[in-house]
Amino acid sequence: MTSRRSKPHTSEVENVVSDQKGSLTWGRTGVASVFLNIQCISIVFFSPMLVLLLHVAIFQFGGSISDTVRVFFIDMSRNFLHEYLSSPWKFLSWTVVKYFVVWVLFQAFLYMFVPGRIANGAPTPAGHILKYRVNGFQCWLVTMITAITAVKLGWIDATIIADNWSGLLICANLYGFALTLFCYFKALLFPSHPEDRKFSGYTLYDIHMGVELNPRIGEMFDFKLFHNGRPGIVGWSFINLSFAFAQPELSNSMILVNILQAIYSIDYLCNEEWYLKTIDIAHDHFGFYLAWGDSVWLPFMYTLQAQWLSKNPVHLTTLEMFLILALGVSGYIIFRVSNNQKDEFRKKNGNVELFGKPAKYIEAEYQTSDGKIHKSKLLVSGFWGLSRHFNYLGDLMLSLSYCLPCGFSSPIPYFYIAFMVVLLVHRCFRDETRCYGKYGKDWIRYCNTVPYRIIPYIF
């Protein structure tokens, strides 16, 4: 990441777009290639393997990556891994399947019936403005009350998730793959909004990146908002809690990880309306990337720290606790304030004050596929004047603060920050391509006004 590379010029943005054979695309690219297909097959194959590898490393090899890799790739005859791959059913009982099904159905029930505000999503490329019931925090609260009651009455143990983790990994994978295929065939046979579908001409690419933008059942059951927010983000805090209860003696590092990650997940659920305007909901289509990602990657990879600490407790000094908390809270403040600035700015059509001064912006135009021209504004002051994705910097600081409580004896807990760097940097480029496709020359004016991508003066 050099400062030279991070200053985009007109030609640089145009190069990104010319990779798509000159077609300006708004939304997911409609152009794929053999290379992209190979990339998709690799992701579909290697992502579940990676989740399994880290799972085995934590629970069978004391967090040793080298031992796990040796057994994984060289000595396939060794116990757990061999058993897992050759007879996964051994780890799966009807009881675990029942827990998983009850969990998903309970979340679906809450999503549909717990009262919440009805909010509008961003206009889709075909010009639809979809309605969403935003009741995330209420659903989290009902889930928490139900879980506490169930534990108090002795119906379940607080460690129920941790105790059945291997079986749940299989259930989640089966669910994630089934959901991916269901959504692909739904897109072909009974799409919710046919004009917002994208076909690339390559089946595998379409299965991976999704065809439908906003698959739904009926008017209100939105697959994307449900799967990311409910089993995914709601599940995150409950998984962490279960691993905290599974620790023989609760450590202060486990408490810190639980607090920092709960701040993030509860923040998401309280600000669900804001989430409707983010790339995940507004632009990404629903394929393996989101369906399997929300079902498996999010619950199993975002909770690596709590899983790891349940087996390898770390006791932090007061100073270490304070420094990590300070990093996490500063990251959260940057994340929340920058996201709020853009949200308020867009809601009030630019009539807001940021840090005591009227917001500055660039007027931009775009066209929907029905031929209509729309006007939009791109904010260039407040945190959005420092870099084009200052909100990602906050997220990265917060992500690092989740990993540090685990100490430095293993790289496994740091997988999360490495993943977030790759995810958010890649997302930056993806967003730039999309926004250039949407706003054209106005986007270039914006890039010239705010030249840095994430970290001012560096990248």
Q: Which residues in this chain contact ligand NDP in the complex, by CB under 6 A?
A: 122, 278-279, 335, 339, 342, 376, 378-379, 384, 389, 391-392, 395, 427, 431, 435, 438
* Shorter beta-carbon distance to ligand NDP: residue 70 or 374: 374
* Shorter beta-carbon distance to ligand NDP: residue 206 or 442: 442
> In whole angstroms, how close is the CB of 90 to ligand NDP at the nearest point?
32
* Shorter beta-carbon distance to ligand NDP: residue 126 or 156: 126
* Shorter beta-carbon distance to ligand NDP: residue 55 or 336: 336
| Non-local CB neighbours of 265 within 8 Å, separated by 6+ positions | 140, 233, 234, 236, 237
CA distance 166 to 59: 9
In our burial notation (b when 16+ CB lie closer than 10 A, e otherwise), range 31-59 reads: bbeeebbeebeebbeebbebbbbbbbbbb
CA 157 to chain centre: 28
How, if at all, do strands 216-217 and 131-134 pair? Answer: unpaired
> In whole angstroms, how close is the CB of 24 to ligand NDP at the nearest point?
14
> In whole angstroms, how close is the CB of 226 to ligand NDP at the nearest point?
17
* Shorter beta-carbon distance to ligand NDP: residue 61 or 383: 383
* Encoded tokens for 445: 């004016």
* Shorter beta-carbon distance to ligand NDP: residue 37 or 376: 376
> In whole angstroms, how close is the CB of 151 to ligand NDP at the nearest point?
28
> In whole angstroms, how close is the CB of 333 to ligand NDP at the nearest point?
12
> In whole angstroms, how close is the CB of 61 to ligand NDP at the nearest point?
27
> In whole angstroms, how close is the CB of 279 to ligand NDP at the nearest point?
4
| Non-local CB neighbours of 354 within 8 Å, separated by 6+ positions | 341, 345, 381, 382, 383
Q: Which residue is nearest to ligand NDP (CB)?
A: 278
CA terminus-to-terminus distance, the chain: 6
Asked if residues 257 and 402 have their Cβ atoms less than 8 Å apart, the reply is yes
CA distance 313 to 256: 12
- Name the residue among 119, 94, 243 with its Cα closest to residue 170: 94
- Name the residue among 422, 122, 437 with its Cα closest to residue 275: 122
* Shorter beta-carbon distance to ligand NDP: residue 212 or 395: 395
> In whole angstroms, how close is the CB of 109 to ligand NDP at the nearest point?
26
> In whole angstroms, how close is the CB of 451 to ligand NDP at the nearest point?
13
* Shorter beta-carbon distance to ligand NDP: residue 55 or 434: 434
Name the one residue in this structure whose structure tokens are 């506490």.
148
* Shorter beta-carbon distance to ligand NDP: residue 21 or 375: 375
CA distance 357 to 166: 53
Asked if residues 305 and 415 have their Cβ atoms less than 8 Å apart, the reply is no
- Name the residue among 223, 240, 233 with its Cα closest to residue 267: 233
> In whole angstroms, how close is the CB of 382 to ligand NDP at the nearest point?
10
* Encoded tokens for 430: 């993806």
* Encoded tokens for 149: 């009651």
The contacts found for 353-358 with CB under 8 angstroms, 24 or more apart, are 354/381, 354/382, 354/383, 355/382, 357/381
* Shorter beta-carbon distance to ligand NDP: residue 28 or 389: 389
